[in-house]
Amino acid sequence: MPLKSSVAVEVQFGKYAFVAHDLFVKHLHFYVSDTIDVGIEILPMKALEQEMSSGVPYYERDLVNVLRQGRGVPAVPLVLVGIVP
């Protein structure tokens, strides 16, 4: 995870399980240890995910998962970015 100016950026095109780890463990660890002020997670959107192999995460699903957790979870300021081809 690259860190620059108190910002952590993670580009996730791997398996969907790794997104939860990034959001709820990695970003939170760096935030609690005062290494970052904000985490940025870059994910493919559904349109791009459909062109990729199986098990790939996509923005819309992970946004709903974060919102479902409720306010304050994860306890780190996050920016989710979805990209399309």
pLDDT at residue 42 tops 80: yes
Question: Any idea which of 44-48, 55-59, 69-73 has the lowest mean pLDDT?
Answer: 69-73
pTM over 0.85: no
Residue 78: exposure state from Cβ atoms within 10 A (0-12, 13-18, ≥19) = middle
Q: Can you give the residue ranges of every domain in the chain?
A: 3-83
The torsion defined by the Cα of 13, 65, 27 and 45, in degrees rounded to 10, comes to 30
E strand or H helix at 69, and its extent?
helix 59-69
Q: What value does the mean pLDDT of the chain take?
A: 82
What SS3 class is residue 76?
coil
Tell me the fold of 3-83. Answer: Restriction Endonuclease (3.40.91)
